[in-house]
Structure formats: C-alpha cells, structure tokens
Amino acid sequence: MQLHDILKAAMEAGASDVHLVTGHQPAVRVHTEMALLEMPVLGPEVMKTFLEAMAPRGAQERFNQHMDADFSYAAAGLGRYRVNAHMQRGQLAFAMRLIKTKVPALEVLNLPEVIGRLTYLPRGLVLVTGDTGSGKSTTLAAMIESMNARYNKHIITLEDPVEYVFSSNRSLLEQRELGLDMPSFSSALRHALRQDPDIILVGEMRDLETTQLAITAAETGHLVLSTLHTSSAAQTVERIIDMYPANQQNQIRAMLANTLQAVVSQTLISRVDKPGMVPAVEVLLCTPAVRNLIREARAFEIPNVIETSRALGMTTLDRSIAELYFNGMISREDAIGSAALPEKLERQLAA
C-alpha cells in the first residue's frame, strides 16, 4: 500500500485529518466525524516505510528517543500535513492534519470584524485560544497575511511545525520550525528579540519561560501573537497567572494588564447550510476596566464585561453561537452542545 494512495483518498473524501494505526484500516475525519477508508489493514513494515518517507532525520531521531515526534510533510500534488508519530500498544501510529496551502483572507473566515482591527495594533500581546482543531492556526495565519500585505515590517513566526507557508509581500517574513530551525520556543524567542522584529508569532505559550519572554517582547514594543489551549478569555488570563510561582503572581498581573490587547477564543461547529465548519468566537478587548480586573485578580468578572461591551466589538461565545444559529448556519443541537452555558442558550433559542 502506498502512502500517496491513502492521502489521495483522504483528499477526495474532504478529510481534515488522517489517522494511520498499525493493525487498523486507515481512518479519516470529515466534518468532525470519523470514518474508515476502504483499504487494507496497515502492517508494521508498511508503517515503518511511512515513517521513513515522511519524517526528516531529526524527527526520526526524536521519535527513536521519545517514541513521539511532531513534524510537517509535503505530499506531492496533495498538500502539506502536520504529523504526529507516536506509539500505541507497542505499535507505530500517525495523526495527520491537512494544512491548507493557501492562506485564507480574514474576510472569508466568518470571524467578527473586530479581529481584522487587531491587525492594526502597533504593539502588545494578542492571544487566539481554543481546543485542538478549533481553527486557531488559520485565524493567526490570516492575521499575519493581512499584515504582510499592508505593512513594511519584519515578521518572524516560531512554529511547531510550520503550517501555512508564507511569501514575503510588503513585509520581510521569516518562518522557523521547532526541531529544524530552533531547539525550543523559548530559545528562539529569546534570540528573535535580537533579530530586529516588528511582529512575532509564537506557535504556543506552552511553558513559563516562553510566556515570560512573550510578555517581555510585547512590553518592549513588539506585536506578539500566540495561542493557548484554553476555552475562554477569563480562563486564559487565569492560566497565564497560574504558570507563575505564587510570589510572582502580583507582578505578572500588572505586566499582563499592561501588555495584553485581546483574547480571541474560538471553536468550530459543523455547518448545516453547506459542507464545512464555521467558527464561534468569544472576543475580549483589554479596555481600562478589563485591565483593572486583571490587576486586582478579578478575572472571574471578565465575562460580565464582555457581556456589556458589545458596542466595543466584544462578544461572548454563546452570543456568537446564537447568531450562527439564527443565520441558519448551524443546527440547534450543535448550538446548545457547543455553548458555554447550554441551559441559558437553550432558553434564548426558544424565545
């Protein structure tokens, strides 16, 4: 069996993800649902050849050492994939996420207009958060491409792995991949500050050192974009604070209050009006009131500010979901199932 045949069948099925597990048929995810491809069971020797074909030497060495490795793979004529190679029950397995080759424009992503305004910020920290597969990378890529087309800037992206491949437009754009161009996010970010950047994209603020450096970069006049695996703006603020030791938390609250510009928390929901997914989005903008809440350790009050600041461009996740439902884009069942407060939203949809 050829890897190319599997990926071609996945592309024809419209799959976003491909799962290859030793001892199983190839499986794909199409609009959130898993399905098996009508192909033979994958044997260990075939899977070994897939690893050798896809993984660069450094990734193979990491896999041999840690039994887990992330890397990107370009399949000729089919596109690029973000790949995780891992072991399960002593056998090799792959999880592959299709990376769209063309960076979409912000205008076609069904995102709130305020997100486009964030690309005009001169400095500060902007976070796009959500679960795995929530569209964070696509939103950030669209924001970067918007700035790439508008500004004469120096943009550096630090990614794990590189997903969308950009071409320098008006900006000079450099992309660095974990394991290939840099040993860690924190090391790359520390050195990036000496590389005369205007805008820095950090693939994920996954540890304390990376978070500290990202906030420092934002404090020193750079626009920093990054992600966290959190589901709301309030949770995002609390997660960052909780990364720090207790004796440093007051200091980081003050720093975060000064540097944070916005938090965009999103999830993807299956469409009913046409094939595909659509994002539901919570947007927090850091107004003086929000900055005070962060300084005073009252992040739990952030949802109330979002609820009452719609005129400024803020929106709650449930309001975004309700708009999608009333516009005929998503089903009632999916709307309620994706809500932060399902019972409250159910009453609103019934009104």
Instruction: Specify the pLDDT at position 90.
Output: 96
Instruction: Specify the pLDDT at position 76.
Output: 87
What are 296's two structure tokens?
């005073």
Instruction: Specify the pLDDT at position 239.
Output: 97
How far is the C-alpha of 131 from the C-alpha of 30, rounded, in Å?
A: 18
Architecture category of domain 3-99 in CATH: 2-Layer Sandwich (3.30)
Per-residue pLDDT tens listing for the chain (351 residues)? 799 999 999 999 999 999 999 999 999 999 888 999 999 999 999 999 999 999 998 899 999 999 999 988 989 888 889 999 999 999 999 999 998 778 999 999 999 999 999 999 999 999 999 998 899 999 999 999 999 999 999 999 999 888 888 999 999 999 998 888 999 999 999 999 999 999 999 999 999 999 999 999 999 999 999 999 999 999 999 999 999 999 999 999 999 999 999 999 999 999 999 988 999 999 999 999 999 999 999 999 999 999 999 999 999 999 999 999 999 999 999 999 999 999 999 999 987
- Distance (Å) of CA 102 to CA 80, 119, 201, 204, 289: 11, 19, 18, 22, 39
Domain parsing of the chain, residue ranges: 3-99, 106-315
- Distance (Å) of CA 270 to CA 281, 294, 334: 14, 34, 8
Instruction: Specify the pLDDT at position 5.
Output: 96
CA 95 to chain centroid, in Å, comes to 17
pTM of the model: 0.86
Q: Where are the beta strands (DSSP E) in 105-249?
A: 124-129, 154-159, 172-177, 199-202, 223-228
Instruction: Specify the pLDDT at position 79.
Output: 87
The CATH number of the domain covering residues in 106-315: 3.40.50.300
